[in-house]
């Protein structure tokens, strides 16, 4: 099997790769000392164009626990991006100095674009409201550790399903596991984007949409809460109107199953009241630790891969004809990028998966 050299979308993750990575993660949990020098001499480049606590720190901690070094930034102001350098050039340089690159950016498709120009593996640590595949590794690890298996569950996804990249990636990864039913709990304004719902339909995933958390809580094996993503709203008034739409309290848990897991990618704002933290069903802080452990397993796969000169990529003849008009897409600023095919349909942008628009000449 040719080793995978990027994790920029969940589509890069196969069931075989997941199984191997998870079993290595279990071994890391059992025998951490065996791994403490397994990436010595390797270097992780950590490029964070957007705020982060867990993802950034957990990658840095994961690399250091494997004996690797780390360099990078958590604010692009100090980099040549502020002088107008393109993403492609910044990636070429960063790859020259490192063994693996982790990138988080507010621009959707930025990790996909980075992988085109990199000699070393690229990991997406969150691209705008689009996807967040290593949070998905974290979430799968938590479910597997807490329930013994990932399939055969009813999972409620609650909150900002429109802008929440973690839930977009999680439902896609769940395609690999049997018998999962979803309850999609959100106000109308914050429903999943159409490309996510279309993919769920095409894959035959079972889901029910509702606005009322209390109605479905007794059914759930896992409740995955999300934050209303203030930074992705164009209309501040709409954010203020919706920001407190869900607040999970200890009282509401009286109707939940005794062995339900409450998950959250964090940071939490007000959507889980602090009196829930001491409930044994609350696993969100443990979840953050599993994130570091599974990222160690991922880095072990990537750090040792040989450096490979990137091949030139040109416009794919099967890419959508129209232009991407999503203002958050990387193609808006980095206009030199080749057109790629979207996994979500032939009328969509290969970077952000949003529908393209035919331009009138
Ligand atoms: C999430 C993110 O950045 O998308 N956080 C994380 O990576 N753990 C969720 C969020 O910011 O709400």
- Characterize the bridge pairing of strands 43-48 and 100-105: parallel
CB-ligand 1 contact for 266 (6 Å cutoff) = yes
Q: What local confidence, expressed as pLDDT, does residue 2 receive?
A: 67
pLDDT digits (tens, 9 = 90+) for 145-181: 999 999 999 999 999 999 999 999 999 999 999 988 9
Please indicate whether residue 83 is annotated as part of the active site.
yes
Task: State pTM to two decimals.
Answer: 0.97
**In this predicted structure, what is the pLDDT of residue 361?**
57
Does the pLDDT value for residue 255 go beyond 90?
yes
Contact residues for 361 (Cβ-Cβ < 8 A; gap 6+): none
219 pLDDT exceeds 70? yes
Give mean pLDDT, residues 275-287. Answer: 98
- H-state helical runs in the chain: 15-30, 54-65, 87-97, 110-117, 133-147, 165-174, 194-202, 213-216, 236-242, 284-303, 330-333
**Residue-wise pLDDT tens digits, 21-78:** 999 999 999 999 999 999 999 999 999 999 999 999 999 999 999 999 999 999 888 7
Locus of tokens 């040109």 = 314
Residue 111: pLDDT above 70?
A: yes
Task: Provide the pLDDT for residue 29.
Answer: 98
User: How far is the CA of 68 from the CAs of 8, 62, 137, 166, 300, in angstroms?
Assistant: 22, 9, 21, 27, 10
The answer to whether the CB of 165 is under 6 A from ligand 1 is yes
Which residue puts its alpha carbon closest to atom 7 of ligand 1? 55
Q: How far is CA 279 from the centre of its chain?
A: 27
DSSP string across 254-289: GGS-TTPEEE--S--SSSB-GGGTTSTTB-HHHHHH
Nearest residue (by CA) to ligand 1, atom 12, is: 227
The residue to which tokens 């597997």 are assigned: 144
Q: Among all chains, which residue has been given the structure tokens 């095919």?
A: 341
DSSP string, 224-259: EE----GGG-S-HHHHHHHTTS--B-TGGGGGS-TT
- Give 124's DSSP letter: E
pLDDT at 360 over 90: no
CA distances (Å), 200 to each of 170, 296, 317, 355, in order? Answer: 11, 30, 27, 17
Q: What percentage of the chain carries pLDDT values higher than 70?
A: 99
Q: Is the CB of 227 under 6 A from ligand 1?
A: yes
Ligand 1 center to 268 CA (angstroms) = 9
Q: What is each CA distance from 356 to 132, 141, 274, 282, 326, in whole angstroms?
A: 22, 35, 43, 41, 8
Strand order in 69-73's β-sheet? Answer: 6-7, 122-127, 100-105, 43-48, 69-73
For residue 267, say if its preceding peptide bond is cis, omega within 30 degrees of 0: yes
Atom 8 in ligand 1: residue holding the nearest Cα: 265
The model's confidence at residue 271, banded by pLDDT at 50, 70 and 90, is very high
Annotated active-site residue 55? The verdict is yes
**Distance in angstroms (rounded) separating the CA atoms of residues 137 and 23:** 12
Q: Average pLDDT, stretch 247-265?
A: 98
Give yes or no for residue 238 having a pLDDT over 80: yes
């Amino acid at each position: 099997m040719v080793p995978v050299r990027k994790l920029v979308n969940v589509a890069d993750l196969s069931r075989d790769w997941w199984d191997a990575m998870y079993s290595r993660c279990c071994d890391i949990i059992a025998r951490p000392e065996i791994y403490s020098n397994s990436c010595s001499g390797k270097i992780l480049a950590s490029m964070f164009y957007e705020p982060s606590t867990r993802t950034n720190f957990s990658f840095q901690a994961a690399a250091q626990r494997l004996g690797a070094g780390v360099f990078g930034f958590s604010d692009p102001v100090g980099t040549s991006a502020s002088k107008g350098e393109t993403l492609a050039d910044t990636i070429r340089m960063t790859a020259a100095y490192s063994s693996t690159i982790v990138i988080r950016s507010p621009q959707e498709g930025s990790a996909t674009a980075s992988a085109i120009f990199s000699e070393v593996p690229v990991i997406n640590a969150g691209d705008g409201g689009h996807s967040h595949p290593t949070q998905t590794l974290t979430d799968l690890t938590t479910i597997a550790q807490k329930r013994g298996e990932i399939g055969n569950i009813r999972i409620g996804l609650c909150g900002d399903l429109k802008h929440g990249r973690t839930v977009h990636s999680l439902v896609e990864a769940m395609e690999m596991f049997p018998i999962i039913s979803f309850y999609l709990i959100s106000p109308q304004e914050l429903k999943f984007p159409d490309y996510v719902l279309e993919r769920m339909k095409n894959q035959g995933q079972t889901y029910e949409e509702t606005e009322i958390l209390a109605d479905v809580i007794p059914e759930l094996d896992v409740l995955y809460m999300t934050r209303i993503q203030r930074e992705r709203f164009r209309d501040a008034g709409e954010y203020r109107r919706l920001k407190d739409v869900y607040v999970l309290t200890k009282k509401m848990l009286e109707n939940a199953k005794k062995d339900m897991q409450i998950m959250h990618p964090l940071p939490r704002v007000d959507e889980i009241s602090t009196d829930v933290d001491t409930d044994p069903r609350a696993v969100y802080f443990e979840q953050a630790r599993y994130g570091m452990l599974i990222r160690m397993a991922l880095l072990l796969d990537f750090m040792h891969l040989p450096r490979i000169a990137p091949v030139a990529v040109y416009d794919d003849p099967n890419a959508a004809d129209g232009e991407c008009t999503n203002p958050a897409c990387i193609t808006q600023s980095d206009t030199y990028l080749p057109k790629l095919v979207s996994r979500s349909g032939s009328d969509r942008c290969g970077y952000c998966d949003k529908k393209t628009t035919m331009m009138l000449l």
